[in-house]
Amino acid sequence: MNRNAFVFLICITLILTPGSSLANPGGNGDGDRDYSCGGSCHGDPALSMPSEATIEITLGNEVFSGQAVAIHVTIEDISTPSNIIGIFILGSLNGNSDTPEDHGWHLIQDPNGGSSNYIETKAASSGSVTVTWVLLSPTNSGSHSLYAEIHHGGYPGDKAYSGVSEKFEVIVQDVPEGLPGLANDWIAPSFRVSGDNSPLSISTRNSTDISVEWMLDGEWNPISVESVCIELTEDFCNDWEVSIPATMGEANILYRVTTYNGTFAIEQPWLKMGTAPPPFEGEVWSARAHSFAFALLIISFLVTLQARLYPTIERDNMDQTQIVASSEMVRSEENPGWLWNPESQEWIEDPEYNGGNE
């Protein structure tokens, strides 16, 4: 075999051999993504190393068509240097049109408080994490599938790893007539500015009343709050305002809605709302103008400080002889013995005058 043929075989082998991609240590942020991630995470899962983590999906409550359900995803035995892990909730593994929305589900809230099917979070030091999506189940009853996929970095060299759960079958039951629940198009708010106590808007259906309880993330005793009906339609109220007290600083508020139709009640999954100080809302050029003004202020201060610290010449040490000598004295004819100094504008005695005797 000649040299050119050997090089050609090596090139063909490298092209046909699937490689492993590198993980993105900082993550890519939450978003709506398909199984293949559109090349924005680790690329095609076929290019990632298989993850040894175990993935399990469980339901938080019974599933009726068009009703809210909590989907818990538990991942264990994760080995990643940064502890950052990307988690998907999917309706299929086709590589496109994989999001739950593409398969009849509606995302009310993701584990980070938004409404994305892909989120990034940190695993515990034990290598495990549990996250929860709140979804509105499909309106058509029957069997529906869900999958959970993970992306993370690993050893060595922060290689990209991915794993996917077994198909999780969800049996959606026919909804009983008049079953109260959250509205089909309602998305839970994900953020509120700290210190803001404005009412929280909640949309429901088939509800004659609701009750809401809340607590801060990490607490165990929820507090009930008042809810007010905004729009009454026939026998039901589908728009409510709930007064959850304001919080200070950065915190996560957990709240749960219970919907009623008469005496029949449905307890909805827990939802999350983050709070933080308001972000900077000024304009860029205004901020630059303020920075320029501050820089001028600093320069002015330094110039003034330099002028004050610069050594000055004592006036008493100055030789006045040259100044006096440089002045042309004018002798007065009317007042002999006196000289007129034009600089100081005053009369001085003439030291050379001897009373008129030469």
Nearest residue to 163 (alpha-carbon basis) of 3, 39, 42: 42
Token pair, residue 184, equals 């089909």
- Whether residue 119 is predicted with pLDDT greater than 80 in this model: the reply is yes
Residue 278 preceded by cis peptide, ω within 30: no
**What's the number of CA atoms in the CB half-sphere (13 Å) around residue 18?**
8
| pLDDT value of position 301 | 75
Q: pLDDT class for 133, splitting at 50, 70, 90?
A: very high
Most confident of 167-171, 231-235, 273-277, 322-326: 167-171
The whole-number average pLDDT for the span 267-285 is: 76
Q: Do the strands 330-331 and 346-349 form a parallel or antiparallel pair, or are they unpaired?
A: unpaired
Closest by Cα among 226, 175, 225 to 205: 175
The token pair at 98 is 């994989």
Average pLDDT, the chain: 80
Secondary structure of residue 137 in the 3-state scheme: coil
pLDDT at 123 over 80: yes
Domain ranges for the chain, please list them. Answer: 17-175, 178-280, 323-358
CA 166, CA 183: separation in Å to the nearest integer?
30
Decide whether 17-175 matches 178-280 in CATH topology. yes
Range of weakest confidence among 146-150, 263-267, 346-350: 346-350
pLDDT in tens, 31-70: 888 887 644 454 455 567 888 899 999 998 888 898 899 9
**pLDDT of res. 13:** 44
> Which run of H or of E encompasses 76?
strand 68-76
Mean pLDDT score, 74-98: 88
**Which has more pLDDT, 26 or 172?**
172
Give the separation between CA 268 and CA 108, rounded to whole angstroms: 11
Tens of pLDDT along 187-233? 888 888 888 888 999 999 999 999 999 999 888 899 999 999 998 88
The number of beta carbons lying within 10 Å of the beta carbon of residue 108 is 22
Please state whether 199 falls in left (phi above 0), alpha (psi between -120 and 50) or beta. Answer: beta
**What is the model's pLDDT at position 323?**
46
Angstrom distance (rounded) from CA 304 to CA 297 = 11
Enter the CATH code of domain 17-175.
Answer: 2.60.40.10
* pLDDT for 312: 54
pLDDT band at 250 (very low <50, low <70, confident <90, very high): confident
Comparing CA positions, the residue from 241, 255, 157 lying closest to residue 203 is: 241
pLDDT value for 297: 77
Looking at residue 344, what is its pLDDT? 76
| pLDDT per position as a tens digit, 295-353 | 777 887 777 777 777 665 444 454 444 444 445 777 767 777 777 777 777 877 777 77
178-280: CATH topology is Immunoglobulin-like (2.60.40)
* Weakest mean pLDDT among 78-87, 163-172, 310-319: 310-319
pLDDT at position 279 is: 64
Of all residues in the chain, the percent with pLDDT exceeding 90 is 34
Residues facing residue 145 across a β-bridge:
169
Q: Tens digit of pLDDT for each residue in 286-297?
A: 666 667 777 777
What's the whole-model pTM score?
0.63
